[in-house]
Amino acid sequence: MTSKYSESDLRNRLSPEQFAVTQEAATERPFTGELLNNKASGMYRCVVCNEPLFSSETKYDSGSGWPSFTDPAAPDAVEEHVDRSLGMARTESTCSNCGAHLGHVFPDGPGDSGLRYCINSAALTFDAADGGE
C-alpha cells in the first residue's frame, strides 16, 4: 500500500495491529476492537492521518463484529476499490487522504445508501463530541 508517511514513521507511532490493518490490509478479529461497542457522540478519524471519516450519527450495530457505518462523514472521505483477495470480489474502503486500509463496504446496510461500511477499530481513533471518551 502506498502511503504519504514513511514505513519507519508509521511503525514508530502505530501499534503492530494498527500497522498491519492500515498498511497491509489485515483484519482484526471480530468482536475484539475497542470501538465496536462505543456509543458516544463524536467523530471517528483515521488512525494514520487523523482525517475525519465517520460520524457517530451513522454508526450502528450490524452484528458483524466490527464497527459499522451507513455513510462516510463526507462524500470524499473514503475511497472504494475492488479487492480480489481471498478468492472473492469485495469492495475495500481506504482513507482518501492517506490511503490507509479501513475495511470493506457491503450492500446490506440499513441507510438510504443501502451500504454497510464495515471498519476495523484498529484503523480508527475517536474524538468524543464533549471532548471526553
Asked if 42 contacts 56 with a C-beta cutoff of 8 angstroms, the reply is: yes
Helices (H), the chain: 7-13, 16-24
List the beta bridge partners of residue 101.
Answer: 94
Asked if 116 contacts 68 with a C-beta cutoff of 8 angstroms, the reply is: yes
Q: Where are the beta strands (DSSP E) in 1-133?
A: 42-46, 52-55, 59-60, 68-69, 78-83, 90-95, 101-106, 116-119, 124-128
From 46, 95, 98, 118, the catalytic residue: 118
Say whether 118 is catalytic: yes
Active site residue ranges: 118
